[in-house]
Chains A and B, each alone.
Chain A
Amino acid sequence: MDDLYRENLMDHYQHPRHHGPMAECDAEAEGQNPLCGDQVVVQVKLANGTIEEMRFTGHGCAVSQAATSMLTELVQGLTVDEAAALPSQAILDELAIPLSAMRVKCAVLGLGTLKLALHRAAGTPLPAEWGDTDEMVWS
């Protein structure tokens, strides 16, 4: 039981970091996971091609919201290219809990949304496995 919803995950879920809207941002996107009803809006402040701050708002399951909160800390100071290339495993490692394939979508919702925001603002490539999609809606 407690191996699933560890203290770290619950801490990020109940006290999300960099949470709440940003007055002015350089990149923004919304992501949805219709299967669960998870939703996040990601906003990014850039400085010289690096992420000065990522903030988010949204609602959904503990995994999606905690993972996005962890992501805000993970990407701070990364270049947009580094963030665009960040593998899903990076966020799964942060969560450090066993997840079924369905819940992996919850876990990487924030990361996908961040990549979409950067793609729109800075032209970074979207993950190849997205195909020709330019929306962040898991199916």
Chain B
Amino acid sequence: MTVSPLTPTDLTRIRADFPILARELHGQPLAYLDSASTSQKPQQMLDAMTSFYSTSNANVHRGVYTLGVESTDAFEAARDAVAALLNAPSRREVIFTRNTTEALNLVAKTYGAQNCGPGDVIVLTVLEHHANLVPWQVLAEQTGATLRFLDIDDEGNLQLDALDAIAREANVKLVAVTHQSNTLGVRPPVAELVAWAHAQGAVVVLDAAQTVPNRPVDVQALDVDFLAFSGHKTLGPTGIGALWGRESLLAELQPFLTGGEMIRSVKLERTSWNSLPWKFEAGTPAYAEAVGLHAAIDYLHAVGLEAIDAHEHAITDYALGRLAEVPGLQIVGPLTAAARGGVVSFVLEDVHPHDIAEILDRHAVCVRAGHHCTQPLIERLGLAATVRASFYLTTTETEIDRLVDGLLDVRRVMGV
């Protein structure tokens, strides 16, 4: 299905919903090109949280009074919205967490700790964000399991040729992979990995922090076993994210954190656990943030995730073309938009990325510079850091043009 990208009229209307885009820095309008770090927020999401706090705030799953009922209903409606967004078979499979990192830690410290042992293998890739690397390192240390890493080619495309050897030598228990590299924008061949992992009897954990915000993500079509994403990259507030997991797997697991909310009955010496999903939600949850996330999801549906995906594709294609005009600039990652999402990393001769980002900031162009929480990947690429521009539903060609103009000024200031 081909969906038209957002029109200029659409973009103008969408941008008007994001109050921060009216801000000026150093006398110039903001060009926010760091959505892969966090998204900006539409007024509709901000209003939903303000309205909730102004009219319905009460702790969830406790009060028998009207406010408590309204609050609980709103929180659980947010869960339904996440379940629908991911095409989850059941709302019981949606666990609210603080963010992607906590969701991945939850899987490592429950499923991983309860299923991995000495001699077992966890397969990762060199593309992973630290959030999808460090929890598995800790798990391996604690259980005696071993980590194996799939490598990339020089453009960042994941190489699967090591899988046969891994399958022969080891008992693979778990494969954890990113749906899209937050540094390079490449999209690993998840379908092939899932088929391979399941043939080994292993489960697949998908870090979807970079894809849930900008295109349809369907856990049933993907056939993964766990999937994590963050609300704050998805037009929602900070402090809320979600883990989706297969009910058959989640049902067998011992809890992650313990305390209130996640219990059925508590005696002094012994406690029985609540049913899914609350078994994994100890303590007062971020229910107001869940309401904000719900409004954000509604906003994404109103624009259309297919249209957002098409827009990102078009704007990435435009950016790759314009960046190629900057003398000395080298794209790190795939050179065509077809192979990647709306994230472009680059280096500019030997100018340090932090100097580039600092000078671009004087042009009110916001980009990230550094290792992007992927130190092993940056090292694998033989670099110390990159500059990263990332795009979303508000990104315009004008903003890309300003990035390019800023980079030409970087050349002038740095004397290259």
Contacts and interface: CB of A to CB of B under 8 A. Distances in A.
B371 A37 contact: yes
Interface string A55-92: 00001111100000000000000000000000000000
Interface string A13-30: 010000000000000000
A14 B354 contact: no
Contact of B359 (A1, A37, A103, A106): A1
Contacts of A14: 415
B409 interface: yes
A62 B378 CA distance: 20
A14 B385 CA distance: 20
Given A1-B413, A4-B359, A5-B359, A59 B384 contact: yes
A1 B362 contact: yes
A5 B415 CA distance: 11
A41 to B, nearest CB: 15
B415 A103 contact: no
A2 B370 contact: no
B359 A61 contact: no
A34 interface: yes
Contacts of A38: 352
A36 B414 contact: no
What interface size band does chain B fall in? 10 to 19
A10 B415 contact: yes
Given A36-B352, A62-B355, A5 B409 contact: no
A61 B385 CA distance: 10
B117 to A, nearest CB: 33
Given A36-B354, A60-B352, A5 B413 contact: yes
Contacts of B358: 4, 103
A35 interface: yes
Interface residues of A, number: 18
A2 to B, nearest CB: 7
A62 B352 contact: yes
A14 B371 CA distance: 24
Given A1-B409, A2-B413, A36-B385, A63 B355 contact: yes
Contacts of A60: 352, 384
Contacts of A1: 359, 362, 409, 413
A62 B384 contact: no
With a 10 A CB-CB cut-off, give which of B352, B375, B378, B409 has the most chain A CB atoms: B352
Interface in A96-120: 103, 106
Given A4-B359, A4-B362, A5-B414, A34 B375 contact: yes
29 contacts: A1-B413, A2-B413, A4-B362, A4-B413, A10-B413, A10-B414, A10-B415, A34-B375, A35-B370, A35-B371, A36-B352, A36-B353, A36-B354, A36-B370, A37-B384, A37-B385, A38-B352, A60-B352, A60-B384, A61-B352, A61-B353, A61-B354, A62-B355, A62-B414, A63-B354, A63-B355, A103-B354, A103-B358, A106-B354
Given A1-B413, A37-B352, A37-B378, 6 more contacts: A4-B362, A5-B413, A34-B371, A34-B375, A37-B385, A61-B352
